Amino acid sequence: MLLLCVIVNYVAISSQYQSIQEQKFVALKPNHERLGNQLFQLASGFGIAKKLGRTLYYPLNEAKTLRCYLKLLTATFPRVSSIYRILPKKSIKQAEVEFAFDEHGHRTCCRYDDPSRLIGHPAKYLLLQMSFAQNARYFEEYLPEVRALFNFSSESREQGNRNLRRLNVGDATDFMCVHIRRTDFLDFGIGSDLNGTLKATRDIAARKEIDLMWLLIIIPSKTRGSLEETPGR
């Protein structure tokens, strides 16, 4: 009986070790921008990893800023800690692949590149050379899982309720806040305009049957006038 238990334990440990050895990983080129960019890239990374049957990882050494962002995201959305691993960049051999490049050979922020073409890639650690991965197509087929991952912690909910009370908003269930940044788009000549932004915001609110909304728009001083900070109902 004892010998049988030893054999069973050995087989279980060996199978677990083999599974770890055979596990494959995928990373998106880390960006060191602000929290919204990190959140979008994490969602896209989750979708790409699911599509490829790999584990999402961050190849980091020091990168204190990015580590702080990941720590904040995990504190706000505790479930995201289960979908990625942080691996020391110096200890792994990564295969780099150009991904979501344009026709001129430049990385793009929003172009979609089908991850399926990399399903058979032999590398254990696959690093996708891409910028931001801001295209919802990377994770739209996994939306129920993404929503579950980005479920606020109880502490975040309490803080949010305190903030809403300061705005004299009693019920957060029918409240929407829209945060728009134009800075990133000015150089490309595609900055938002007031009428279009308000129309899009009202359309979203109507679809979600939301009566109260607060539109927060942050604008560089040199462009003030085309958009203004606008509370509304």
Domain ranges (residues) in the chain: 23-149, 154-232
**Orientation of helix 64-76 relative to helix 35-52, angle to 10°:** 80
pLDDT value, residue 229 = 43
pLDDT value, residue 8 = 43
Let me know: does 49 contact 26? Beta carbons within 8 Å.
yes
pLDDT value, residue 183 = 61
pLDDT value, residue 170 = 66
What is the reported pTM?
0.75
pLDDT value, residue 182 = 61
Distance (Å, whole) CA 178 – CA 227: 14
pLDDT value, residue 34 = 85
| Cα atoms in the Cβ-side hemisphere of radius 13 Å centred on 46 | 24
How does pLDDT run across 201-213, given as a tens digit for each residue? Answer: 889 888 888 876 6
Residue given tokens 């890239």 in the structure block: 41
DSSP code per residue over the chain: -HHHHHHHHHHHHHHHHHHHHH--EEEEPP----HHHHHHHHHHHHHHHHHHT-EEEEEESS-HHHHHHHHHHHHHSGGGGGSEEEEEGGGS-EEEEE-SB-TTS-B-SS----GGGGTT---SEEEEE-STT--GGGTGGGHHHHHHHTPPPHHHHHHHHHHHHHTT---GGGEEEEEEE-HHHHTTT----HHHHHHHHHHHHHHTT--EEEEEEE--GGGTTSS--EEE-
- Could you read off the pLDDT tens digit of each residue along the chain, which spans 233 residues? 555 444 545 444 333 334 445 799 999 999 888 888 999 999 999 999 999 999 999 998 877 889 999 999 999 999 999 999 999 999 999 999 999 999 999 989 899 999 999 999 999 999 999 999 999 999 999 999 999 999 999 999 999 888 878 877 765 557 777 777 666 566 666 666 777 878 888 898 888 888 766 655 554 444 444 444 444 44
